[in-house]
């Protein structure tokens, strides 16, 4: 141990010793993930419109029902068969809607190929990459904002930190109320209020993660060892210092474990939120369902399954390391 030569002029502590470096690096890493997730989230202010957006979308979906149109036009000619250069060429790069129009209005023959299924769906995966990433970003941003909000409120919802019974019970009741609202309902209401897209999804996930995290975190705060808190009170520490030095080190591993769990739940939830117009892959899934593009639906479900499995694996591993 290096001894300072003169006790009145101690050597300046390195940044590392003061613990500043570790907290700074952690903070920067978290911010980077957050910024990466929140940029290109696809929140466009112009879309914060009224019920008009809803009506337009409903109209579009009704008009686009392809099978009804094919069924209603008599010269539709659909053949299952192997593709060759002649039959393939006219259809390359065409959407299902183009195909339906061509079949119904121009009397063209549409070949639906069994053999190009894989190729078609691999290229479709590239199309849904954007919405998929939007889903992931929504989940990350929602979990981040939810955690930010959850930290102060879980302190207020912990009986061992709040002396005032009124504050404690008020916070608890509000949180219980929030938790009773299913995330899907929350997203539906919010997309009505905020317009279609990622914004209502993020807000819904923020509220959802917030309520879940506060519940989990406040209960682990209540279970901490009260000894260090007593020691700090005896040192003349104030409430915030007690929280920083006595509570945070004790609950940090649990907090991070809960957070990865909430992130995992958010990913699962956000895949479905699109059903009510809250952006992400769920919206693509719903469009494909309504347009009866079941091959695409199958691909999306497989992709979501993969995403959820990967998320679960990663968050389980992280939790194993932390607890």
**Chain residues that interact with another protein, rule: CB under 8 A:** 1, 4, 7, 10-13, 17-20, 23, 225, 227-228, 230-238, 240-241, 244-246, 249-250, 252-253
Minimum separation from the CB atom of position 55 to another protein (A) = 51
Quote the least distance from Cβ 26 to another protein, whole Å: 12
- Residue with the two structure tokens 């104030």: 238
d(CA 201, CA 304): 17
Closest to another protein by CB, 84 vs 225, is 225
Q: Which is nearer to another protein, 16 or 74 (CB)?
A: 16
> Which residues on neighbouring strands pair with residue 109, listed in sequence order?
77
- To the nearest whole angstrom, how small is the minimum distance from the Cβ of residue 21 to another protein? 9
Please state, as a whole number, how many other Cβ atoms lie within 10 Å of the Cβ of residue 265: 20
In angstroms, give the least distance from the CB of 235 to another protein. Answer: 5
Q: In the chain, what is the straight-line distance between the N-terminal and C-terminal CA atoms, in Å? A: 33
| Identity of the residue, 252 or 302, whose beta carbon is nearer to another protein in the bound complex | 252
Neighbour count for residue 137 (Cβ, 10 Å): 23
In sequence order, what E strands does the chain have?
Answer: 77-80, 109-112
In the structure encoding, which two tokens stand for residue 66, read together?
A: 């392809």
CB 288 within 8 A of CB 297: yes
Which lies closer to another protein via its Cβ, residue 251 or residue 304? Answer: 251
Cα 256 to Cα 147: distance, rounded to the nearest angstrom:
10
Q: How far is the CB of 243 from another protein (least distance, A)?
A: 9
Token pair belonging to 314: 């990663």
CB count in 10 Å sphere of residue 154: 28
d(CA 109, CA 104): 9
To the nearest whole angstrom, how small is the minimum distance from the Cβ of residue 136 to another protein? 31
Closer residue to another protein in complex, CB, 130/228: 228
CB-nearer residue toward another protein: 28 or 73: 28
- E strand or H helix at 94, and its extent? none
Given the complex with another protein, which of 72 and 238 has the nearer CB atom?
238
- Whole-angstrom distance, CA of residue 100 vs CA of residue 61: 14
CB of 16 to another protein, least distance (A): 10
**Minimum CB separation from another protein for residue 205, in Å?**
29
Distance of alpha carbon 264 from alpha carbon 309, whole angstroms: 9
Nearer to another protein, 18 or 95 (CB): 18
Helices and strands per DSSP (H, E), number in the chain: 14, 2
């Amino acid at each position: 141990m290096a001894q300072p030569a003169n006790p009145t002029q101690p050597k300046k502590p390195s940044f590392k010793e003061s613990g500043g470096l570790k907290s700074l690096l952690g903070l920067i890493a978290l911010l980077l993930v957050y910024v990466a997730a929140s940029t290109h989230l696809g929140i466009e202010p112009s879309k914060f419109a009224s019920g008009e957006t809803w009506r337009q979308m409903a109209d579009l979906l009704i008009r686009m029902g392809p099978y009804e149109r094919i069924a209603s036009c008599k010269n539709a000619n659909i053949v299952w068969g192997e593709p060759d250069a002649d039959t393939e060429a006219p259809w390359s790069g065409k959407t299902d809607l183009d195909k339906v129009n061509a079949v119904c209005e121009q009397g063209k023959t549409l070949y639906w190929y069994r053999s190009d299924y894989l190729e078609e769906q691999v290229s479709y995966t590239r199309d849904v990459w954007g919405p998929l990433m939007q889903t992931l970003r929504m989940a990350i941003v929602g979990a981040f904002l939810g955690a930010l909000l959850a930290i102060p409120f879980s302190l207020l919802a912990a009986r061992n930190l709040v002396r005032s019974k009124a504050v404690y019970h008020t916070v608890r009741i509000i949180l219980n109320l929030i938790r009773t609202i299913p995330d899907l309902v929350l997203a539906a209401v919010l997309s009505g209020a905020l317009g279609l897209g990622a914004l209502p999804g993020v807000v819904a996930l923020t509220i959802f993660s917030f309520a879940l995290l506060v519940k989990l975190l406040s209960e682990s705060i209540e279970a901490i060892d009260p000894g260090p808190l007593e020691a700090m009170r005896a040192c003349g520490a104030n409430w915030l210092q007690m929280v920083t030095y006595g509570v945070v080190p004790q609950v940090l591993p649990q907090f991070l474990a809960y957070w990865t769990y909430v992130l995992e739940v958010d990913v699962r939830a956000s895949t479905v939120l699109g059903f009510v117009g809250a952006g992400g892959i769920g919206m693509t899934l719903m469009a494909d369902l309504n347009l009866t593009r079941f091959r695409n639906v199958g691909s999306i479900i497989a992709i979501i399954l993969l995403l959820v499995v990967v998320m679960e694996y990663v968050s389980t591993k992280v939790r194993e390391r932390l607890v």
